[in-house]
A and B are shown apart, each in its own frame.
Chain A
Amino acid sequence: MTRVCAAPRCGLWVLRLLPVLPVLLLVLLGARPAHAHKPSDSYLSVKVDGRQLSGQWDIALRNLDFAIGLDADGDGAITWGELPARHADIAAYAGARLMLRADGQPCALSIGDQAVDEHTDGAYTVLPLRWVCPDAPGGGPRSLALEYRLFADLDPQHRGLLKLDAAGMTRTAIFGPAASLQQFELGQASRWQQFFDYAIEGVWHIRSL
């Protein structure tokens, strides 16, 4: 990440000293590595076991606070006591932004009791997920389509990182505004994909699952 400006100071003086200038000026602090925190991500895990579809979704409390407000007393800290009262709102907000179709048919999502987990950049709510899909012939869905729109209107840089377990294989995907709808054919991973999945699996274990 690169930063050129030592803001917020950098803009203000221009307004004071050079009111004719059209916009904020400067700091040529030379574009800088300032990847001070990780950008916003959520961690979504989906497991297909025959007709059972379940999962877990970890969403940063800071992001949820920005979207729907969690700091009830406004003291700059989110306490556990402030969360249960908002669990229904969190579930409604998140659930409305995640659509799953199995073999083209929409599945109904229910979200269970929330817990908390620590990721590298702070605390996340942990949403247990379960889907009920229309009955399909055979043992389970052949394809899944996921549509992910969490925070799309608030933060186009937000990404949903998916880990999908199905038919004995794990695959991963990154959702964002340019890739909000993705389809997965189950049981059709290449040998290379399996190898790659194996490498990724280690990574994902730092996450909550």
Chain B
Amino acid sequence: MPLLPALAAAAALAAPFVPTADTQVLERLPARASDPRAQEMQALRTAWRQHPGDVTHAVSLAERYFDAVAAEGDPRYIGYAQAALAPWWALPAPPASVRVLRAKLLQFDHRFNEALADLDAVLQADPTHADAWSWRAAIHMVRADYDQARRSCERLTPLAPPLITVACTAQVDAATGRGDAAAASLRAALASPGGADTAQRLWALTRLAETEERRGDAVAAEAAFRQALALGVGDVYLLAAYADFLLDRKRPAEVLALLKDRGRADVLLLRLALAARAVGAPEREVWARTLGERFDAAALRGDTTHRKEASRYLLALRGQPAQALALARENFAEQREPADARILLEAALAARQPAAAAPALAWMAASGFESVALQDLATRLKALP
């Protein structure tokens, strides 16, 4: 229960109340009933209810819910998707369509081993299953198994459009000391005509922006971030990444403008709270407190999948480096992406416990990961007495 100390500070007593006006809005739903996407979802749900044992209906509905998680940022849809797959969920070898989706849902809970087992089983039976290869690559990236990620990208290459396969390999290159080549290939693929739709460009541009930032080319990184934002998708991950870019460059006012009214997403509320603190905005305390309450509420249910963000919250907004370090260490044992390494290095530095950063330093050395920010942190850690 490492979050408990934070909570006492963040606690805000709420009390039940009886509204006085019938017109008082208590809750906003994701969509109006007349919204086309809501109607589509409702139609899928109706079809599933009429045939709950039909795998096609169930997978269609579950896929739609899965998509809604990223679009709306609400993890409730994970549970809804799982419910649709209930007849097959516990089977050792469900149909391939269910099994790939089960893997996608399991990785949300950081159950990476089970997810990979499902994907590998599907790929054993069908080596041309592009979705399974792509997810396999992504999970191996999170776990810093770059050989396996690269292999998955190679297997994906004949099965998917060029921009996707180039970007798949580029992300592995960028993580293994080949940032220059990764950026060049991403640029070339983005510049080549044909086919790529908004989602693909968004993803490739985000990868390019991150790669350029790690290489220390802030101008190129910002250009890529802005191109991605100009696509108008409002992707939560992109917004968070660009906000971090701005925060690193002491441009918090731009973060407040970028993320205005997006605080329902925890990852974005974290950036808002950091920016508000940096500029001394009046919302700084209420945002920080709300964020703390959300982490505590998640901890109550035994949820540990947001330790990276909670660590950052404790370190930067609550001034609790020891507690932040504990969470960052637990997180890094499970996830080894740049952001995971960064919070571990930062927390170890703030807590003046350089030895605690050893796993991140070892990962940097083994992978050859290039990042100006991470190298700077590593240097400062080594300079600690």
Contact = CB atoms under 8 A, between A and B. Distances in A.
Interface of A: 1-14, 16-18, 21-41, 56, 61-63, 65-66, 71, 74-81, 83, 113, 115-123, 126, 153-159, 161, 172, 174, 199-200, 202-208
Contacts of A206: 7, 10-14, 293, 296-297
B160 A33 contact: no
A78 B25 contact: yes
Contact of B70 (A7, A16, A25, A205): A7
B265 to A, nearest CB: 4
Most buried by B among A22, A33, A80, A158: A33
Interface string B54-81: 0000010001101111111111101110
Contacts of A79: 22-26
B171 A30 contact: yes
Given A31-B141, A116-B16, A121-B294, A8 B71 contact: yes
Given A39-B75, A39-B78, A71-B33, A25 B130 contact: yes
Most buried by A among B22, B26, B135, B297: B26
A74 B33 contact: yes
B91 interface: no
Contacts of A28: 134-135, 137-138, 141, 164, 167-168, 171, 203
Contacts of B30: 76
A100 B303 CA distance: 26
B100 interface: yes
7 contacts: A8-B68, A30-B337, A36-B265, A79-B25, A117-B15, A157-B75, A206-B13
B298 A35 contact: yes
Contacts of B64: 8
A1 B130 CA distance: 23
A36 B267 contact: yes
Most buried by B among A5, A24, A35: A35
Interface residues of B, number: 112
Q: Ordered nearest first, which 10 A-B pairs have the shortest CB separation?
A: A36-B73, A81-B22, A74-B33, A157-B79, A9-B199, A155-B79, A8-B67, A7-B67, A36-B265, A80-B19
A3 B139 contact: no
Contacts of A6: 70, 199, 202-203, 233, 235, 237
Contact of A35 (B76, B141, B160, B305): B305
Contact of A80 (B21, B110, B168, B308): B21
A78 B27 contact: yes
A119 B171 CA distance: 39
A76 to B, nearest CB: 4
Nearest to A7: B67
A41 B130 CA distance: 35
Given A1-B110, A174-B302, A207-B14, 4 more contacts: A2-B110, A8-B67, A23-B96, A38-B75
A31 B79 contact: no
B104 interface: yes
Given A28-B164, A29-B203, A61 B27 contact: yes
Contact of B29 (A22, A76, A115, A203): A76
Contacts of B300: 41, 161, 172, 174, 203-204
A9 B108 contact: no
Interface in B123-156: 126, 129-131, 134-135, 137-139, 141-142
A37 B32 contact: no
A56 B16 CA distance: 10
Contact of A33 (B129, B130, B233, B339): B339
A116 B26 contact: yes
B83 A35 contact: no
B139 A17 contact: no
Given A30-B171, A33-B339, A206-B11, A4 B97 contact: no
A146 to B, nearest CB: 17
Nearest to B100: A23
